[in-house]
Structure 1
Amino acid sequence: MPDSLQTALTAIQRVSTQTGLSVVAKILDQVYDIGRTCSDTYRKIKDQFIRHDAVLGEWNYLVDGRGLNA
């Protein structure tokens, strides 16, 4: 268990794959409102750009700025 947030961040930033893929991480220190809802515009277009995976869809998803059917 990391002893501080900085220790955890440093450990995460050191992660990489054998092919050179690396992780970019930063600490967000902004406080966000709880319980905010999405705008109607977002709800209408989100399915064009975001596809949630069948397994743990809240964590596993694909975002394509060109649109999923492009």
Structure 2
Amino acid sequence: MAHSLLRCSPETRPHLSKGGVMRVIDCPCGHRLEGKDDEELFRLAREHVDRDHPEMQRTDEELRQRIAADGRDG
């Protein structure tokens, strides 16, 4: 089953200060990535794909397009 993105574990999730808005994106494998902005989501997505879905061989541009299309405020 192919997956198109990723997530970080609860222990490694970033936390924002009061009033901060997180950006989130979900991987079909069930992982949720949370970051302070799309650049942090990209970094987390790159790490997740490389570690957990190496068979996907996604380019940086493909990951950035997915984040632009599916990333949302959380």
Alignment TM class, shorter chain as reference = under 0.3
- Larger CA Rg, structure 1 vs 2: 1
| More helix as a share of residues | 2
Q: TM-score, normalised by structure 1?
A: 0.27
| More strand as a share of residues | 2
Q: TM-score, normalised by structure 2?
A: 0.26
Q: Which has the higher contact order (CA 8 A, sep 6+)?
A: 2
